[in-house]
Amino acid sequence: MVFFFLPLFCSSQTTKDYNLAMQKFQTFYNAGQGDSINAMFGHSWDQANAKKTLWTNDEAARALEELGTLDSYKFIGIDELDPQKVYIFQTTFSKAGKKMTSCTLDKKLAFGTFRLVTIPDNITKQTSIQKKAA
């Protein structure tokens, strides 16, 4: 019976998994390593057929110039209205201040989706996130 439930426990992503992914992203982002950020994405994003990579060192440099370093992040909730269960983080940048970042992880704990700065208006309308943040 234990073997039956083991795959269920192993395949579920946890808040800890998301925090570790954000920690890794923060390290790569602050170092301007867009190529390392790009490697954090899973194979659901087919790099071979993409017209351009998701992150490059030049794009990381531009984001650093505009937003500044990523000083901190804090998990604030899950967008329960999205079928992918998007995890939302409050992020603080040295130049841009407080923003919101969102992402999903695939079964191998690689980024499935990622938005460095997500639109706060869409998030604040969703009470499911606000309740988890309280």
Report the C-alpha gap between 12 and 28 in whole angstroms.
Answer: 25
Instruction: Kindly report the pTM of this predicted structure.
Output: 0.79
How confident is the model over 92-102, as pLDDT tens digits? 999 999 999 99
Angle between helices 57-67 and 15-30 (to 10 degrees): 90
Q: What is the CATH number of domain 14-133?
A: 3.10.450
Helix (H, G, I), strand (E, B) or coil at 17: helix
Q: Are 115 and 46 in contact (CB under 8 A)?
A: no
Report the C-alpha gap between 38 and 54 in whole angstroms.
Answer: 6
Q: Which residues of the chain have pLDDT under 70?
A: 1-11, 44-52, 120-134
Domain positions in the chain are 14-133
Give buried/exposed letters for 50-67 (b at 16+ CB in 10 A, else e): eeeebbeeebbeebbeeb
